[in-house]
Amino acid sequence: MTPPNTSLGKALLANAFLTFSLAACLMPTSSHAQPTSGAAATAASTATNPLLAPWSGPYGGVPAFDKVKVEQFKPALEAAMAENLREIDVIAGNKQAPTFDNTIAALERAGERLDEVRTVYGIWSGTLSSPDVQAIEREMSPRMAAFADQINQNEPLFRRVEAVYNSPAKKQLTPEQQRLTWVYYNNFVRAGAKLDATAKSRLSAINQRLAGLFTRFSQNVLADETDSVLVLKSPAEMSGLPASLRDDAANAATARKLTAAGAITNTRSSIEPFLTYSDQRKLREKAWRMFYNRGDNGGVHDNNAIITQILQLRAERAKLLGYKTHAHWRLDNTMAKTPEAAMALMEEVWTPAVARVKQEVADMQALAKKEGAPADFKIEPWDYRYYAEKVRKARYDLDQNEVKQYLQLDKMREGMFWVAGELFNFNFTPVTDVPVYHPDVKVWEVKDKTTGKHVGLWYFDPYARPGKRSGAWMNAYRNQQRMDGKEVATIVSNNSNFVKGKEGQPVLISWTDASTLFHEFGHALHGLSSNVTYPTLAGTSVVRDYVEFPSQLLENWLPTPQVLNRFALHYQTGKPIPQALVDRIEKASTFNQGFETTEFLASALIDMKLHLAGDQKIDPDKFERETLAQLGMPREIVMRHRTPQFSHVFSSDGYSAGYYSYLWSVVLAADAFSAFTEAGGPYDKAVGQRLTKYVFSVGNTVDPAEAYRKFRGRDPKIDALMKERGFPMTAKKTTKAPAKAPVKKGVGKKS
Catalytic positions, written as ranges: 520
Q: Which of 482, 569, 473, 488 is nearest to 523 (CA)?
A: 473
Distances (CA, A) of 723 to 343, 671, 720: 21, 10, 5
Helices (DSSP H) in 302-459: which residue ranges? Answer: 304-320, 326-331, 339-370, 384-396, 400-404, 409-424
What b/e readout covers 522-542, taking b as 16+ CB neighbours within 10 angstroms? Answer: bbbbbbbbbbbbbbbbbbbbb
- CB-CB neighbours of 632 under 10 Å: 10
C-alpha distance from residue 747 to each of 21, 101, 107, 648 (Å): 9, 28, 22, 11
Compute CA 72 distance to the chain's CA centroid, rounded to the nearest angstrom.
27
Q: Report the b/e string of 449-478 with b at 16+ CB within 10 A.
A: eeeeeebbbbbbbbbbeebbbbbbbbbbbb
Closest CA to 45 of 115, 110, 117: 117
Cα 192 to Cα 200: distance, rounded to the nearest angstrom: 7
Within 13 Å of residue 563, how many CA atoms lie on the same side as its CB?
Answer: 28
Contact 735, 704 (CB under 8 A): no
d(CA 311, CA 314): 5
Rounded to whole angstroms, how far apart are CA atoms 662 and 547?
A: 9
Strands (E), 126-254: 229-232
Give the type of residue at 333: N
CA nearest to 513, candidates 226, 245, 747, 228? 245
**Residue 445: which H helix or E strand, with range?**
strand 442-448
Rg (CA), the chain: 25
CA distance 440 to 735: 42
> Could you give the residue ranges of the DSSP H alpha helices within 11-67?
39-48
In the chain, % helix, strand, coil (3-state, to 5) comes to 55, 10, 35
Q: List the 426-431 sheet strands across, edge first.
A: 426-431, 442-448, 454-463, 490-498, 472-478, 749-750
Neighbours of 324 (CB within 10 A): 13
- Comparing CA positions, the residue from 241, 292, 245, 295 lying closest to residue 268 is 292
Kindly list the distances between the CA atom of residue 745 and the CA atoms of 190, 218, 492, 574, in Å, as whole numbers in the listed order: 13, 21, 16, 43
Region class of 748: left (phi > 0), else alpha (psi between -120 and 50), else beta: beta
Per-position DSSP letters for 304-350, written without gaps between them: HHHHHHHHHHHHHHHHHTT-SSHHHHHHTTSSS-SHHHHHHHHHHHH
CB count within 10 Å of CB 257 equals: 6
